[in-house]
Structure 1
């Protein structure tokens, strides 16, 4: 029996869709060469001309956007220079472990400050030339009674290798404690990478960080163009104009604003369907359960938009999203 593809799985998950043939999507990684000189650091002690990069982040198969991002980044780095060697320290979610690939040399127990320091010491003793730390507040700290207990700065203090830190969240109006944490992260990093010019500007204006950041826009898979109408027919939605949001459901995405706009959109374009594709973020689920999703459902029902907004409450692989 032939394997069922991504479109079949999506049809099972999206109400009102119908059986159709498998959708095949080809993904072609594209690499943007970037020259980066580490400021105020000694030359990298590359062995035999090989640079070894230690990534600190969550790692696949953990269901986490940072994990997917880091896997794609490692693949792009190796595609740009096959001589680069990538190793990783993976942040394990609380009460769970994963079977990682061979690139993962160390594990960090999320929420355990000593574990972050221990990983830093292990990296110091390794052959890594440089560290790339992918920062998201939930991965490097714990909220307790409204206060943020940061684990990233202690790790950076322990690390003796040059560190490039990628900030995935730059809050526009940070509380004093968060502002200080980000400032200290920047002080202890050889370079800071953000994904938008707005984030780079905020680091100067809202955080008082004078050193310019490196802006590398968040990428996406390069795909072979497919006929939009044919794909919608295969999903049983050929009569709908589709708007979609994909990824882990999280209040930071502002889904409620799109839901609030749907009555006006549907009034002008009655065939519009807004798909919210993705499961609730695991960290949010552990903390609050499905409270946020239930609030969104209530907004949809109270606005009479049940026929125009649908959830696909499922974690989708990158191929299925594409």
Structure 2
């Protein structure tokens, strides 16, 4: 059935994970629903520059809650991305102003569920959940954390749909005369744990590895402290005597360039400091590309790598990172076994499969809304 899907989120050309996620979901959701359309309310801060938008993309400046709701109410269903820091107001409370004005079925996608939120963060998230018809988390860990730590009146309305990715299977292509490529990518900022990966290189020198850290500094980090973290990482490399083994690519990569880069990697390293992370698009993309992964024990990694698609290491432990990387790069059959296991996840994580689940969810909510309306009018 032809539908119009509405989205509330950051959106390209904003360069962040939510923007990329929403653009991909929008593209694939309309693709699996032939003839359907979509409209986007693009969340902007006062600092964001004005950019020319497509007719179907509507900017939302702080305070413009009614205008945002008016756009979304012209759609059959609204898909709202929630993340702390993108909406105006204390703890992003302005999202509630939009949600309260929506008359169409609402799917809220949670990108972060904190273990120990501030009182304000808890209040806002619980209100966001209350305003939704269905809540989507992208991991079982996030769903369990939400139900255990927050007031959720309708647990059955909280469902898990994984983060989507484009499955690829490109064998690593080495550079003549160079060693294996270890890759970390994504928007750069403190907490990414890259310093622990750098420190791990010293004990891997016999393998002649290249550690490539790809991605620009997160725009909000850049505005606050410039390139201080990247400078800190260069200093760590010099202090560890591995400057020749570390490369930085500060560009924001488009989908095709990123796929090419990931395809060249021998192993993907996710040395994140946080134990809170219940959603990682980078992890999903790495598995969809059938790349061996070494990751710290953040919840999403524990969930997806537990069957052998990667190796888990403690947080902030360069020795453990080095040992895991050495195993992946030298232990016979280990990397190929990881690729085989990640391939089994590909069908579930593919964007068409993920979009199909959102479409089914939307259709069910629309049908419920129509049924309720008929009952009321009788």
TM-score normalized by structure 2?
0.62
How many residues of Structure 1 are paired with residues of Structure 2 in the alignment? 256
1:228 match: secondary structure: coil
Partner of 1:314: 251
Does the 8 Å CA contact 2:9/2:22 hold for their aligned counterparts?
yes
99, 104, 121: which one pairs with 1:161? 104
Query: How far 1:97 sits from its partner (Å)?
Result: 2.0
Indicate whether 1:98 and 2:42 are aligned. no
Q: 1:312 to 1:191 in 2, by over 3 A?
A: same
Aligned to 2:208: 271
What displacement does 1:189 show? 0.8
227 and 123 in structure 1: CA distance in 2 versus 1, 3 angstrom threshold: closer
- Deviation at 1:284? 1.6
Is 2:29 aligned against 1:77? yes
Contact 2:2 2:33 in 1 (8 A): no
> Which of 138, 144, 166 does residue 195 from structure 1 map onto?
138
When residues 251 and 192 of structure 1 are mapped into structure 2, their CA distance, relative to the original with a 3 A threshold, is farther
- Paired with 2:118 and 2:198, the residues of 1 have a C-alpha distance of 28
- Give the TM-score of the pair, scaled to structure 1: 0.72
Query: d(CA) in 2 for partners of 1:168 and 1:282?
Result: 18
For structure 2, the residue ranges without an aligned partner over 5 or more in a row are 260-378
Structure 2 residue aligned with 1:89: 41
Using the TM superposition, give the Cα deviation of residue 120 of structure 1 relative to its aligned residue in structure 2, in angstroms: 1.4
* 1:259 aligns to 2:198 (yes or no): yes
CA 1:141–1:263 in structure 2 vs 1: closer, same or farther (change >3 Å)?
farther
Partners of 1:103 and 1:121 in 2: CA distance: 13
The CA distance in 1 between the partners of 2:160 and 2:199, in whole Å, is 32
Residue 240 of structure 1: aligned partner = 179
Matched, 1:62 2:17: no
Query: Which residues in structure 2 correspond to 1:284-303 (within 5 Å)?
Result: 284-303=221-240
RMSD of equivalent CA atoms: 2.3
Q: Partner of 2:325 in structure 1?
A: none
Bigger mean CA offset, 289-298 vs 185-194: 289-298
SS in structure 2 of the partner of residue 315 of structure 1: coil
- Counterpart CA distance in 2 for 1:261 and 1:198 is 29
Partner of 1:10: none
Task: Give CA deviations for 1:269-295 in whole Å, capped at 9, x if unaligned.
Answer: 531222110001112212222223233
Residues 53, 129 of structure 1: 8 Å contact kept: yes
C-alpha deviation, 1:317, in angstroms: 0.9
- TM-aligned CA distance change 1:123 to 1:283, over 3 Å: same
Of Structure 1 and Structure 2, the greater helix share is in 2
Is the 8 Å Cα contact of residues 78 and 106 (structure 2) preserved in structure 1? yes
Is residue 126 of structure 2 the alignment partner of residue 183 of structure 1? yes
SS of residue matched to 2:136 = strand
Partner secondary structure for residue 165 of structure 1: strand
Closer, same or farther: CA 185–149 of 1 in aligned 2, 3 Å: closer
Paired position in structure 1 for 2:4: 52
Contact 1:60 1:100 in 2 (8 A): no
Higher mean displacement: 194-203 or 90-99: 90-99
Q: Report how far residue 215 of structure 1 moved.
A: 1.3
The Cα shift of 1:69 comes to 1.2
- Specify which of 156, 161, 171 is matched with residue 216 of structure 1: 161
Q: Which moved more, 1:66-75 or 1:133-142?
A: 133-142
Contact 1:92-1:98 at 8 Å conserved across structures: no
Aligned partners of 1:179 and 1:263: how far apart in 2? 43
User: Deviations 1:291-313 (Å, cap 9, x if unpaired)?
Assistant: 23233333332222322222111
Q: 2: distance between equivalents of 1:84 and 1:119?
A: 21
Report what 1:121 is aligned to.
70
Query: Structure 1: which 5+ residue stretches go unaligned?
Result: 1-48
